[in-house]
Amino acid sequence: GENVEQHPSTLSVQEGDSAVIKCTYSDSASNYFPWYKQELGKRPQLIIDIRSNVGEKKDQRIAVTLNKTAKHFSLHITETQPEDSAVYFCAASIGGSYIPTFGRGTSLIVHP
Amino acid sequence: DVKVTQSSRYLVKRTGEKVFLECVQDMDHENMFWYRQDPGLGLRLIYFSYDVKMKEKGDIPEGYSVSREKKERFSLILESASTNQTSMYLCATSGGNSPLHFGNGTRLTVT
C-alpha cells in the first residue's frame, strides 16, 4: 500500500518568515495530494490540493508543489502569521481509490 | 457546505463497556471513514465504507467494528472498551477521489 512520510514533525518560525513542509510518497499511481490544517481543538480542514497533472498550485500565501519523478510534494507558506499556527497533514491517494494515506503531521508554530 | 456531525464531543467510559460513536452526514456522500488521532501518530484509518451495508478494514481495525445501515449514518463500535482505546476519534466523508470532510471529533476516555 501507499506510504507517506512527512517532515519536519515540528517547525518553529518567526512571524513574516516562510515555512516549508515536505512529504514523500511511495506509490507512483498516487494522483491526488491534499493538505489539511488542524487548529487546536478543531477538525482538520482542506487548505489546498493538487492533482498529478499539474506541478504547482497557489492560493494567496500558500502554495503546493509536486515532483512526480521524485515522488514528493511540499507545502509553502509565505509571510507567516500567528493564525497559521496549527498541525498540517499531507495525504496521497491512488487513482481510482478514495482512501487517502496521511503523513504524521507537522506542528507549525509562528512566533509573533 | 458539508456537515458531518458526531454525536458526542467528549465521552468517558469504563473498561469493558460497549461504546457506540455515531456520525451523520448531510451531503449524500458515498464514502465514510473512521480515523483515530493520537499525538505523533497522525490520522490512522480504522474502518471505511463505500456504500450502505458495505465496510472495509483500515489499518487498525482490531477491537472495533462498524455499522452502516443508512447512507447518511456510520457508527463505530468498541465491543469491549480498553484503556488503550482512549483517543480522539474523527469521522469523515467524501464523494469519491476528492477532499475529506471531517466531523468535530469525539474525545473518548476509557478508565
For residue B35, the cross-strand partners are: B45, B90
Out of A46, A89, A96, whose CB is closest to B43?
A: A89
The DSSP line for B63-102 is TEEEEEEETTEEEEEESS--GGG-EEEEEEEESSSS--EE
Out of B33, B41, B103, whose CB is closest to A104?
A: B41
Test A104 with B40 for CB contact under 8 angstroms: yes
Q: What percent of chain A has pLDDT over 70?
A: 97
Q: How far apart are CA A5 and CA A24, in angstroms?
A: 5
Q: How many CB atoms lie within 10 A of CB B57?
A: 14
Give the model confidence (pLDDT) of B7-55 as tens digits: 899 999 999 999 999 999 998 999 999 999 998 899 999 999 999 989 9
The cell for A83 is 493564525
Q: What angle do CA B12, A106, B88 make, to 5 degrees?
A: 10
- Phi-psi category of residue A31: left, alpha or beta, with phi > 0 → left and psi -120 to 50 → alpha: alpha
Q: Which residues of A are less than 8 Å from B88 in CB distance?
A: none
Dmax of chain A from CA atoms? 43
Q: Which residues of A are less than 8 Å from B33 in CB distance?
A: 99
Interface subset of B 38-57, CB within 8 angstroms of A: 40-43, 45, 48, 50
Give the distance from residue B50's alpha carbon to the nearest chain A alpha carbon, in angstroms: 9
- A6-23 residues labelled b (16+ CB within 10 A) or e (exposed): beeeebebeeeeebbbbb
Residue A51 pLDDT > 70, yes or no?
yes
Test B43 with A42 for CB contact under 8 angstroms: no
Q: Which residues of B are less than 8 Å from A97 in CB distance?
A: 97
First to last CA, chain A: 41
Whether the CB of B97 is below 8 Å from some CB of chain A: the reply is yes
Give the model confidence (pLDDT) of A53-76 as tens digits: 889 999 999 999 999 999 999 999
Q: What percent of chain A has pLDDT over 90?
A: 82
Residue A29 pLDDT > 80, yes or no?
yes
Give residue B95's pLDDT band: very low, low, confident or very high (50, 70, 90): confident
First to last CA, chain B: 37
Test B45 with A99 for CB contact under 8 angstroms: yes
